[in-house]
Chains A and B, each alone.
Chain A
């Protein structure tokens, strides 16, 4: 699969990145190498090989449903560039009231 600059620009905008022309071309070549390698893997006949998603047998570890202490709010907000009244403050996300994308 040939990876065009348009795809890189699309992913760039999704990732909120602004690349220079040189960076974009370098990124395109890196991504192209990854895709070429995956294409090699895809050419193998692995119909009889089960997916290897974990080293443990069974279904992995689940947590019991018990509440534990959380961070103090001050610690939670510590790394935030801006905070006010116990909230993270970010640039206005939208003019009208709108909830997230759950």
Chain B
């Protein structure tokens, strides 16, 4: 299957799907906090919440004379992402200082990577409306997070617990064509980061953050227009909404012959609008230079390959394997590979059984139970056992759902619950024939109308038999017995 470029197939429409003319060019920058125990350059604990300024030391406070030492695990986690996405790993990458003043940046500079980032190139596979796409990456580099500023009551308060927490910044090529594509890409990227146990993906806590660059150009042009940067996008839905808003704003300016200013705009999710924050600082203003306190970061082939060998099967590959092995649709397989626990659960439940049936149950009942309980109360092998009974026709779907409820609430084995609840399928023809005859005898008026041509009443009789048997009657047998009596 050949994947299409992220920007291919863009119809000659307006940037947001309006009339022909402008098309959007979108690039994203994603910051992901790495799941380390300690900060990037010191031993302060990494944890969300807690008391302000209790996880700080001379290094992350930027006190004079303190020296940073890079966390090996942070490098490894960044490598995991880079290798999973097919990036080129740079053997000697360089840490750099990005100089700017802000109260949450105690050193007056951020340690990041500039000229020689850890990873270059690579691409992220994602699905857009069920179609495989890929978005190329520019780079992935290591850097440290800033602290948190709280603006209230005419002053700004600063908590530096987050200062120095390791991040990767993932920079995409500006090759997304729509807010919907940006959303689909971010969902896939987040899934991968969580899948690799690199980032917890929690956007509410700021573990995953996204900035977006967007510009417009006339359809068919290859150059890029003036771009604006959108910040404060703290949900994927926010990214999509902010992009749609900004594309619309730019389109109206350009259509009116007004220029777009290169600026950073802050998204206000409550008001659903983006306001200018500041003129976009040019690259030179940060006065990047190599960090003199840290030697170049060397990643030799042995280290790189050891990290590669430790990668799990990736979500995209797993989705395709589930489709092939169990005959699932793209959408089913995508849903079941939303995270590793779910994919593992599905595969264990489907093992040796009907994969499509298991997909239906996991995507429905099991996801519902997970939402209610936060986990998987029914072990996958137990679900597999129950579904085997469903497949054999020993128990109906309705009855199996009742059994699943008991299994989830009280544990145990499917067969024991089927017997205890009296839910085994009623497939004794003699017993069922007696019930069918009873139903027909009890409804002479309906029987007469049926014989008079109202054949739709067949469903009525089926329903009555099911009601009499508490849903346990074998539907095929009921069908046959009724046909013999009504049409024979």
Residues of A in contact with B (beta carbons under 8 Å apart): 14, 16, 53-54, 56, 58-68, 70-73, 76-77, 79, 84-102
Contact = CB atoms under 8 A, between A and B. Distances in A.
Interface of B: 31, 36-38, 41-46, 51-58, 61, 63, 69-75, 92, 99-105, 110, 143, 145-151, 154-160, 167, 209, 231-232, 266, 275, 277, 285, 287, 290, 294-300
Given A65-B38, A70-B56, A84-B157, A101 B146 contact: yes
Given A62-B69, A65-B74, A88-B158, A93 B295 contact: no
7 contacts: A59-B296, A60-B294, A65-B37, A70-B55, A88-B158, A100-B105, A102-B143
Contacts, number: 161
A86 B145 CA distance: 20
A88 B73 contact: no
B150 A87 contact: yes
A63 B67 CA distance: 12
A86 B209 contact: no
Contacts of B73: 64-65
B10 to A, nearest CB: 31
A68 B58 contact: no
Contacts of B52: 73, 85-87
A87 B158 contact: yes
Greatest chain A CB density within 10 A among B31, B41, B42 is at: B42
Q: Is the interface of A mostly helix, strand, loop or mixed?
A: loop
B54 A70 contact: yes
B53 A62 contact: no
A53 B151 CA distance: 41
B103 A90 contact: yes
A92 B55 CA distance: 24
Contacts of A89: 155-158
A91 B101 CA distance: 13
A59 B99 contact: no
B151 A94 contact: yes
A62 B100 contact: no
A90 B36 CA distance: 30
Nearest to A65: B73
A54 to B, nearest CB: 4
A46 B45 CA distance: 44
A98 to B, nearest CB: 6
B18 to A, nearest CB: 30
A56 to B, nearest CB: 7
Greatest chain A CB density within 10 A among B157, B299, B300 is at: B157
Given A60-B298, A62-B71, A88-B160, A73 B54 contact: yes
A19 B478 CA distance: 96
A54 B299 CA distance: 16
B82 to A, nearest CB: 17
Contacts of B285: 14
Given A60-B295, A63-B71, A93 B151 contact: yes
B346 to A, nearest CB: 32
Contacts of B149: 93, 98-100
Given A63-B43, A65-B36, A93-B102, 8 more contacts: A58-B298, A67-B43, A68-B43, A88-B159, A90-B103, A98-B149, A99-B232, A102-B143
A13 to B, nearest CB: 10
A93 B104 CA distance: 10
B155 A91 contact: yes
